[in-house]
Amino acid sequence: MPLLVGFVSLAAGAEYISHAAEFFTEAMHLNIVLTAMVVAFAGSIPEHSIALVSARRGEVEMGISNVVGGVVQSLMVVLPLVGLVAPIPLDGYIVFQLMVTSASLWLLEKAVMDDSRFTVDEGLFILLAQLMGLLLLDELSFMI
């Protein structure tokens, strides 16, 4: 029964997110890239909440593994499943997203593996790198 409730909730959440994306692009006339960012932020709220709660409890490994697991799952499971249903054009937007995601995972790996710790400075650096990637994507979205 809990598994059925989970799948129904997942389907309902996906439906609400897709309707929100349509609303942002059609009714509010947002750029498709900005809409994708809003949808990505909304879809990542559970992962980020678990990461913050875990870090507050001192379970940093749990938080990091949850966020990294979500990113890797999106790249290695969700993206190929979407590719089976619909063709994914390797245009500038998709290639840019893959590059930023790969660079972010590489930065995280280097930050943790150099001294087996994840410090505040390293976290701020990765956060700023992500922000720069989002701002660059927003600026480049007019050319894509």
Task: Note the pTM of the prediction, 2 decimals.
Answer: 0.62
Residue 99: pLDDT over 80? yes
- Give the residue from 33, 13, 49, 43 showing the smallest Cα distance to 96: 33
Tens digit of each residue's pLDDT (9 = 90 or more) over 13-60 = 878 888 887 887 888 887 777 777 777 777 777 777 887 888 788 887
What pLDDT, on a 0 to 100 scale, did the predictor assign at position 96?
Answer: 81
Residue 75: pLDDT over 70? yes
pLDDT averaged over the chain?
80
What pLDDT, on a 0 to 100 scale, did the predictor assign at position 143?
Answer: 65
What pLDDT, on a 0 to 100 scale, did the predictor assign at position 144?
Answer: 56
Instruction: Yes or no: say if 34 and 142 are a contact pair by the CB < 8 Å rule.
Output: no
Task: Transcribe the chain into DSSP letters.
Answer: -HHHHHHHHHHHHHHHHHHHHHIIIIIS---HHHHHHHHHHHHHHHHHHHHHHHHHTT-HHHHHHHHHHHHHHIIIIIHHHHHHHS-----HHHHHHHHHHHHHHHHHHHHHHTTS---HHHHHHHHHHHHHHHHHHHHHTTT-
Tens digit of each residue's pLDDT (9 = 90 or more) over 105-119 = 888 788 777 777 777
Instruction: Yes or no: say if 66 and 54 are a contact pair by the CB < 8 Å rule.
Output: yes
